């Protein structure tokens, strides 16, 4: 009697795939095995696919991220390293395609996703962090029911990297201005360009490219909550 299931398993095991990318991270899972995460090329602003291969050259899982920077961020947060000194031997293509049989990462079994948080506010302030690459820091102000004014500091990839509490809106606005932030709605106004000459580059970015605000829900967890302003003396 023909064992159809066995035949399908053999066909699946013999299926091999290749992909061309030099962007990969690795995670040593035990003394015999290393999982490799190959980040597939994607256009700017497009979704990014990551394919997982083990030391036996078996492609066993894949995940999709909003963009390449998120893929790198999430992989590093889950213990993957980007090359570095003396990495393990890279498995050679082609790879045996066994996706769907052991989806350890995409199923969530061996993958920790960041906590997602929504902020009830549209009062965005922005700051040009690294002018050359147009990196923008965002501060979002939310007034709590108990009167406390909470400020969420967010990177352009949507990760909250710090949270600070203040007693009043006035204290927040003075502090944000002192630390190089400007309210998003006002940065393209001509009178502000002249008035805030020390931040002219931010206005140039806004006028030429626009400022893309991070989208909710934002992502927060212990790994990224390093307190860039509150704990490291960055707040003036």
Identify whether residues 200 and 172 lie together within a single domain.
yes
- Cα–Cα distance for residue pair 192/200, rounded to 1 Å: 9
Identify whether residues 43 and 78 lie together within a single domain.
yes
Question: Looking at the domain assignment, is residue 228 inside a domain?
Answer: no
pLDDT in tens, 38-54: 998 777 667 889 999 99
Sign, CA torsion 116/129/179/186: negative
Domain that holds residue 195: 116-220
Question: Looking at the domain assignment, is residue 106 inside a domain?
Answer: yes
Question: What's the pTM?
Answer: 0.71
Question: Looking at the domain assignment, is residue 138 inside a domain?
Answer: yes
Tell me which of 7 and 4 has the higher pLDDT.
Answer: 4
> Is the predicted pLDDT of residue 178 greater than 70, yes or no?
yes
Identify whether residues 123 and 212 lie together within a single domain.
yes
Identify whether residues 126 and 208 lie together within a single domain.
yes
> Is the predicted pLDDT of residue 85 greater than 80, yes or no?
no
Identify whether residues 126 and 193 lie together within a single domain.
yes
Question: Looking at the domain assignment, is residue 23 inside a domain?
Answer: yes
Question: Looking at the domain assignment, is residue 8 inside a domain?
Answer: no
Structural domain total, the chain: 2
Identify whether residues 92 and 134 lie together within a single domain.
no
Identify whether residues 25 and 44 lie together within a single domain.
yes
Identify whether residues 75 and 25 lie together within a single domain.
yes
Tokens representing residue 17 in the block: 């795939």
Assess contact for 50 and 41: CB atoms under 8 A. Answer: no
pLDDT in tens, 145-174: 888 999 999 988 888 988 999 999 999 999
Identify whether residues 181 and 197 lie together within a single domain.
yes
Identify whether residues 183 and 130 lie together within a single domain.
yes
Identify whether residues 49 and 141 lie together within a single domain.
no
Quick one: pLDDT at residue 190?
55
Quick one: pLDDT at residue 228?
74
Question: Looking at the domain assignment, is residue 193 inside a domain?
Answer: yes
Question: Looking at the domain assignment, is residue 4 inside a domain?
Answer: no
Question: Looking at the domain assignment, is residue 85 inside a domain?
Answer: yes
CA distances from 122 to 150, 197, 211 (A): 13, 25, 14
pLDDT in tens, 91-135: 888 999 998 887 899 999 999 988 899 999 999 999 876 545 567
**58 Cβ contact list (under 8 Å, min separation 6):** 95, 96, 98
Identify whether residues 100 and 159 lie together within a single domain.
no
């Amino acid at each position: 009697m023909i064992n159809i299931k066995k035949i399908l398993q053999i066909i699946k095991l013999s299926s091999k795939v290749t992909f061309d990318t030099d962007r990969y991270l690795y995670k040593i899972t035990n003394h015999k095995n290393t999982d490799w995460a190959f980040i597939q090329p994607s256009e700017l602003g497009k979704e990014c696919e990551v394919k997982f291969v083990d030391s036996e050259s078996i492609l066993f899982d894949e995940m999709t991220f909003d963009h390449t920077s998120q893929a790198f961020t999430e992989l590093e947060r889950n213990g993957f390293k980007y090359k570095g000194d003396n990495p393990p031997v890279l498995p050679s293509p082609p790879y045996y395609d066994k996706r769907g049989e052991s989806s350890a990462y995409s199923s969530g079994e061996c993958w920790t996703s960041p906590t997602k948080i929504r902020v009830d506010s549209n009062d965005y302030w922005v700051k040009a962090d690294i002018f050359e690459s147009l990196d923008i820091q965002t501060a979002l102000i939310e007034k709590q029911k108990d009167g406390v004014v909470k400020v969420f500091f967010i990177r352009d990839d949507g990760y909250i990297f710090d949270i600070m509490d203040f007693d009043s809106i006035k204290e927040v606005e003075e502090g944000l201005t002192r630390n190089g932030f400007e309210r998003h709605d006002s940065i393209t106004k001509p009178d502000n360009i002249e008035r805030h000459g020390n931040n002219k580059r931010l206005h140039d970015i806004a006028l030429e490219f626009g400022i893309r605000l991070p989208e909710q829900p934002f992502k927060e967890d212990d790994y990224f909550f390093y307190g860039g302003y509150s704990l490291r003396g960055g707040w003036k």
